Amino acid sequence: MSNNSNVVDNLISKLSKLPGIGRKTAQRLSFYLLKLPREEVIGLARALVDIKDKIKYCKVCFNISEGELCKFCRSEKRDKSVICVVEEPNDIYFIEKTNEYRGLYHVLGGVLSPLNGIGVEDLKIKELIKRLDEKVKEVIIAINPSVEGEATILYLSKIIKPLGKKVTRLARGIPVGGDLEYTDEVTVSKALEGRIDV
């Protein structure tokens, strides 16, 4: 219980439920919003409602979209011979920021995690397999290298390779600017395993 009004306490409570926002940050944000002009707060509220009312999932790749198809699936300029498989739509954002990838995407909606009750039928794997027609030559698996991620990568590789498609994954190892002295053994091991010609 605090000395704030019930309205402010309610906002603090709602904001503190967001990922990465603790109670103190929620408090600062609440008092910041209180100082903003009414129009800006209404604009923020409208933007929040819009993402619930106007955003859907692409019927082909399951990325976020405002229409039936996302901008990547609609584009004639994308390379249709390559599909990059990711866990969630926000992963696409980070890949696109590199300006390096020009292919299509497929969002699984998570990773295999039997301990959490997430199996093959809970992910968009069946839909991915349906997309692998003769135009698709390569599937890039861009999934986080967690235990569950590795299990998902292995599973996908086993079911896609027999279809005659090239299956690759993102490189793993020491980041640019990294220092061997501060790198853990597993990362160094993966970097050695994935070494390339110079």
3-state DSSP assignment of residue 186: helix
Q: What is the pLDDT of residues 153-182, one digit of tens each?
A: 999 999 999 999 999 988 777 777 777 677
| Rounded Cα–Cα distance for residues 167 and 138 (Å) | 6
Inter-residue long-range contacts of 185-194, CB under 8 Å, 24+ positions, other chains counted: 190/145
Domain ranges for the chain: 78-169
Q: Put the strands of the sheet holding 103-107 in their side by side order.
A: 103-107, 79-86, 138-141, 166-169
Contact, 93 vs 87, CB < 8 A?
no
Locate 74 and state its tokens: 């609609």
Amino acid at 38: R
Residues whose CB is less than 8 angstroms from the CB of residue 157 and which lie 6 or more positions away in sequence, other chains included:
141, 167
CATH of domain 78-169: 3.40.1360.10
Q: What is the pLDDT of residues 94-148, one digit of tens each?
A: 999 988 899 999 999 999 998 999 999 999 999 999 999 999 999 999 998 888 9
The length of the chain, given as a count of residues: 198
Q: What is the pLDDT of residues 28-78, one digit of tens each?
A: 999 999 999 999 999 999 999 999 999 999 999 999 999 999 999 999 999
Bridge pairing between strands 138-141 and 103-107: unpaired
User: What angle (nearest 5°) sits at the alpha carbon of residue 95, between those of residues 92 and 100?
Assistant: 135
